[in-house]
Amino acid sequence: MRQQARKTGDGWKVNPIPAEVFRVNSRDCAWVNAKCTPHPLACFEQRIRLTGGLDGIRDITHILTDWEGSPMPAAHERAKAKGWKTHTMPCGHDVMLDLPEELTRELLAGSSRRSTPTH
């Protein structure tokens, strides 16, 4: 990525990763690729600085998609170890394109759990 940024990205940006890499369904691949723009190289290299605020959130769900080559299974395992709710969906990275109804149900289920008053 660094070489590509130096060669074609003014030294700081990289071309979009093709939708096919993220296993976007064939019906939506061209559309997704057309919407993507160059991305700052730094977002792949800079570490995130966490403040600890996440520890105050009571209800967290991590959704993992099962596309081959995903770097996210390790994060999913860390989420499980922290006691977060976890869910796996059988699709590519762009869940909202592949399984919109299922994703909506999962998000609404989490939302209703959080908005239920406790007396």
How wide is the angle at C-alpha 91 spanned by C-alphas 48 and 39, nearest 5°?
40
Tens of pLDDT, residue by residue over 38-60, are: 999 999 899 888 888 878 888 88
Residues 26 and 65 in one domain: no
Residues 96 and 113 in one domain: yes
Range of the domain at 110: 53-119
Structural domain total, the chain: 2
Residues 68 and 114 in one domain: yes
Residues 63 and 29 in one domain: no
The DSSP code for 46 is S
How sure is the predictor about 119, in pLDDT bands with cuts at 50, 70 and 90?
Answer: very low
The pTM for the full model equals 0.72
